[in-house]
Amino acid sequence: MLTIDAMFQKSTETIRRWFSRSQGRPDSMDPVFGSALPLSENPLAALGQLEMISRRMADGLLSGKHRSTHRGGCTDFTEHRPYSNGDDVRMIDWRMHAKNDRYHIKQYEDETNLKAILAVDASGSMSYSGKQRNGANAASKFDIARTVASCLARIMVRQRDAVGLAIIGETISNTLPPRCRPETIIQLNEALAVAKLQGRSNLGACLTETAARNRSRGMLILLSDCLCSLPDLKKGLLAWAQAGHDVIVVEVLAADEIDFSFRGSMILENLEQPGQKLDIDPGNVRHAYLERMQKHRAALRNTVTSCRGELISIRNDESIGDVLKRFLQRRASSAGGASAGRARR
């Protein structure tokens, strides 16, 4: 079995080639402000990509005013972890530094720590990436969801929040319980890197089942295209909301699914039911498609709102940084509310 160091060494060349494709396109070199690039089909290389992107994201977004959302509360020391760029220097254990000349952060178990579950949709429709953009392959919806999940996880762990994972689709294919430990990120990224797309979407049932497994109040973050039965999805979201969890839905769509900018005769294939194909003329169905898609997305917003949740939308040709910034703002607001609640008590 390969060690983590061996995996990174083996995937170094693939990762370097992946980043070199962005030469001449400065925005795409910075994942905070540029649209995401496709992840490698090689799990080892994909793991390295997720590690590199999430580190850069966390370093950029947790500097300055986004450094930490931790406020007060009763804390107990639990363990040390190596210092990472972007960590609060006030948490460095200088006594340990004097002993071994290395920087370590003191970690605490906080009674108000957030416990979050990242539910990543791995149904067949998430494989869609759409047309090439500016000569480069577009990232699939699944790549976007995995990248955002990896970045959110690293941000939350750095802010001493516990984060877990559920890979869902037709069934629940993998889960990790919420943890806030140094190894949490690599375990989560490994699970994301090897995740396989599977069959039809069954989000409602999967979310209901994961809610039953996570009884401690926290947060659900669903990353999906939400191209599913909305009544079923509502049942799954309500299972979390009614148990006292915060609910955030990140709707991930390809640009073509929103704009329907196809031309000429084409064949559409059902990605969740292989073998089902439809020969169409885009010009003849564009108006009806756009109208139906707009109605679906409006209904999705109403569904999420009715579950007291928040909907964040992202296209595969947009920056993922905006999603992460909105999460940080939401987390800071929640932390402030929790502190105020303790003060009133």
Question: Per-residue pLDDT tens for 186-197?
Answer: 999 999 999 999
Residue showing tokens 């429709």: 125
How sure is the predictor about 27, in pLDDT bands with cuts at 50, 70 and 90? Answer: very low
The mean predicted confidence, pLDDT, of the chain is 79
User: With 50 as the cut, is the pLDDT of residue 249 above it?
Assistant: yes
Spell out the domains of the chain, with CATH numbers in brackets: 75-110 (no CATH), 115-344 (3.40.50.410)
Mean pLDDT score, 304-321: 91
Q: Provide the residue type at 327 as one letter.
A: F
Separation of alpha carbons 105 and 94, rounded Å: 9
Q: What is the mean pLDDT of residues 16-33?
A: 40
Tell me if 268 sits within 8 A of 280, measured CB to CB: yes
Residue 70 vs residue 309, higher pLDDT: 309
pLDDT > 50? residue 13: no
Per-residue pLDDT at 166 exceeds 80: yes
pLDDT above 70: residue 309 = yes
281, β-bridge pairs = none
Calculate the CA 253 to chain-centre distance. Answer: 14
- Inform me whether the pLDDT recorded for 31 exceeds 60: no
Q: Which residues contact 278 (CB under 8 A, 6 or more apart)?
A: 267, 268, 269
Residue 337 has pLDDT above 70, yes or no: no
Over residues 101-122, the pLDDT tens digits come to: 888 877 655 444 689 999 999 9
Is beta strand 172-179 parallel, antiparallel or unpaired with respect to 75-82? unpaired
Confidence (pLDDT) at 89 = 76
Give the pLDDT band (50/70/90) at residue 77. low
Overall pTM > 0.85? no
For 71-140, give the secondary structure using H, E and C.
CCCCEEEEEEEECCCCCCHHHECHHHHHHHCCCEEEEEEECCCCEEEEEEECCHHHHCCCCCECCECCCC
Q: Is the pLDDT of residue 9 over 60?
A: no
Top-confidence residue, 230 or 330: 230
Q: CB of 142 within 8 A of CB of 126?
A: yes
Rg (CA), the chain: 21
Longest dimension (CA), the chain: 73
250 falls in which pLDDT band (50, 70, 90)?
very high
| pLDDT for position 165 | 97
pLDDT band at 236 (very low <50, low <70, confident <90, very high): very high
Tell me the H-state helices in the chain. 4-20, 26-29, 43-61, 94-100, 141-158, 184-194, 203-213, 230-241, 255-259, 282-306, 321-344
The pLDDT of residue 191 is: 95
Q: What is the predicted pLDDT for the residue at 247?
A: 96
139-155 pLDDT, tens per residue?
899 999 999 999 999 98
Cβ contacts of 156 within 8 Å, gap of 6 or more: 114, 116, 162, 163, 180, 331
User: Closest Cα partner for 205 from 245, 167, 170, 241?
Assistant: 170
Q: Which residues contact 242 (CB under 8 A, 6 or more apart)?
A: none
Residue 220 has pLDDT above 70, yes or no: yes
Confidence of residue 64 (pLDDT cuts 50, 70, 90): very low
Which tokens in the block code for residue 336? 């402030």
Residue 290: pLDDT over 60: yes
Q: Which residue has the tokens 């919806």?
A: 141
pLDDT at 122: 96
Look at residue 217 in the predicted model and tell me its pLDDT: 87
Taking the CB of residue 209, how many other CB atoms lie within 10 A of it? 17
